[in-house]
A and B are shown apart, each in its own frame.
Chain A
Amino acid sequence: MLAIDVPVALLSGLALAEAGKNMLKSDNQNRHYFMRTTVLLFAVFFITPIPFYFFMGWPAWEVNFLWRWQDNLHDSPLRAAVSFAVFLLTAGPAYIGFEIGRRWLRQGRDLWVRIGYISMAVLIGVIVLATRKITFNIASTMDKYEAGQFYSFWSHPFFTGWLIVSVYFWGSLVLCYLWLRARDRRFVKAARSKK
């Protein structure tokens, strides 16, 4: 859901910044470009496809049943442009989250970064809790939502798809975090051995 996607993207950017904190704190331009490129790759390869999956398959649910126009994107230059907005709303916050994290780390505010992504995780939980009726009751279009034609979040095929993309995203985030941590440790070791 779009209300969750933005904090999820921000969380990812902040967490990945923390994983490479020593590289970002240094003045090594090589490592800065490496981190920026990794986060950009992560955003467009692992984050953006997920909202698209839901936006194309269950558009009304994906936009939290706020609007109607997304139910029929075909043959309309204006309505189809929403797909553009969804794209930028997911890749953009991940990169913004990273840049905020990078700035905090360079100012020595390491704790802020951790508080930042934990806050995002809490916010996601609050949003899910506050919108649990629409989160766990699926209707693909606004008409079906208004007609009360729901089915359970846990039913196939919705849950199957949700499970696949969730494992894909959270699994990639964990792996990318650990990979960056390992690279960061190697960077610190190399810097120490040079001294």
Chain B
Amino acid sequence: MVQIDIPAAFVASMLFIDLGRKTLKADSSTEERRKPAIYYRYLYRAVFFAGFVIAPAGIYLLAGWPGWEQIYWSRRFEEVMHTGWLNPLLPAGFVMAIVLAGYLGHVLGYRWLMAGKERLLRWTYIGVLVAVGIVVLCNYPSFLLVGTYDQYHNLNGQSRDEMASVWSNAYGFSAAWVGVMCYFVAGLAVAVWRIRRDSAEAAGK
């Protein structure tokens, strides 16, 4: 979901900083440079996660089920093919926004960690998660229905009654969504595992 994916990249970057805070602080204090190697190592992870886990998962759902993927906020996402030069910029902008959010999450998170504002870092990403949850819930029942913008908003002779439940696997949606979630969870698990492994190795030194 567009409304989740962009903040998710921001939250993931901050979460990685929070999980690796001991290693980051220890390694940063041993190097004179303003941005030590570990800064770039974590930035690499944040950008990789945003660019290779969140963005492809999001763009997959946007390509297949554009209405649901942005919980029916705009018809433009459904009309990207051969409709001028502006609408196809939306999926491209979506990818860029995810990567940018991942980058900003890292930069801000690292700065706050080095300034000793660990609580601010944690409350920020928890706050963003809560805010995203509220935004999505305010759009009930959009995230439970699969169909088009016109169907959801009862426009052009179409009706919301024609929409299918997300759990009925109509239009192959449920299978695709489960696949995407498996990919996302596996990607997150690998990223967290690597950070924890690095932290354990650093502690053992």
Q: Which residues of A contact B (CB under 8 A)?
A: 29-30, 32-34, 36-37, 40-41, 43-45, 48-50, 52-54, 56-59, 71, 73-84, 87-88, 91, 140-141, 156-158, 160-161, 164-165
B55, A87: Cβ atoms under 8 Å? yes
A41, B88: Cβ atoms under 8 Å? no
Q: In terms of DSSP, what is the predominant structure of the interface of chain B?
A: helix
B92, A30: Cβ atoms under 8 Å? no
A157, B80: Cβ atoms under 8 Å? no
Residues of chain A lying within 8 A (CB to CB) of residue B35: 30, 34
Bound-state Cα–Cα, A120 to B40, Å: 29
B87 close to A (CB within 8 Å): yes
A30, B33: Cβ atoms under 8 Å? yes
The smallest beta-carbon distance between A14 and chain B, in angstroms, is: 19
Interface size on B, residues (CB 8 A): 48
Instruction: Pull 12 A–B residue pairs with CB atoms less than 8 Å apart, ordered by A.
Output: A33-B44, A40-B48, A41-B47, A44-B50, A52-B91, A58-B81, A58-B88, A74-B65, A77-B172, A77-B179, A84-B56, A161-B89
CB contact list, B39-63 vs A, under 8 A: 40-41, 43-44, 47-48, 50-52, 55-56, 59-63
B95, A44: Cβ atoms under 8 Å? yes
Report which residue of B48, B51, B56, B81 has the largest number of chain A beta carbons within 10 angstroms of its beta carbon: B81
A56, B80: Cβ atoms under 8 Å? yes
Chain B 149-192 interface mask (CB, 8 Å, partner A; 1/0): 00000000000000000000001110110010000000000000
Count of CB-CB pairs between chains A and B under 8 Å: 138
B85, A73: Cβ atoms under 8 Å? no
Closest chain A residue to B88, Cβ basis: A57
Residues of chain B lying within 8 A (CB to CB) of residue A49: 92-93, 95-96
The smallest beta-carbon distance between B26 and chain A, in angstroms, is: 16
B179, A41: Cβ atoms under 8 Å? no
A57, B51: Cβ atoms under 8 Å? no
Residues of chain B lying within 8 A (CB to CB) of residue A57: 80-83, 85, 87-88
The smallest beta-carbon distance between A162 and chain B, in angstroms, is: 8
Closest chain B residue to A139, Cβ basis: B82
B84 close to A (CB within 8 Å): yes
Partner of B64 from A40, A54, A76, A156 at Cβ < 8 Å:
A76
The smallest beta-carbon distance between B37 and chain A, in angstroms, is: 4
Closest chain B residue to A140, Cβ basis: B82
Partner of A52 from B48, B51, B95 at Cβ < 8 Å:
B95
Given A33-B40, A44-B51, the answer on whether A74 and B64 have CB atoms closer than 8 Å is: yes
B103 close to A (CB within 8 Å): yes
Closest chain B residue to A36, Cβ basis: B44
The smallest beta-carbon distance between B45 and chain A, in angstroms, is: 9
The smallest beta-carbon distance between A132 and chain B, in angstroms, is: 21
Residues of chain A lying within 8 A (CB to CB) of residue B36: 30
Partner of A160 from B37, B48, B63, B85 at Cβ < 8 Å:
B85
B85, A158: Cβ atoms under 8 Å? yes
Bound-state Cα–Cα, A71 to B105, Å: 36
B198 close to A (CB within 8 Å): no
The 10 lowest CB-CB distance pairs between A and B, nearest first, are A80-B64, A57-B88, A161-B85, A44-B51, A33-B40, A75-B171, A49-B92, A140-B82, A83-B63, A77-B176
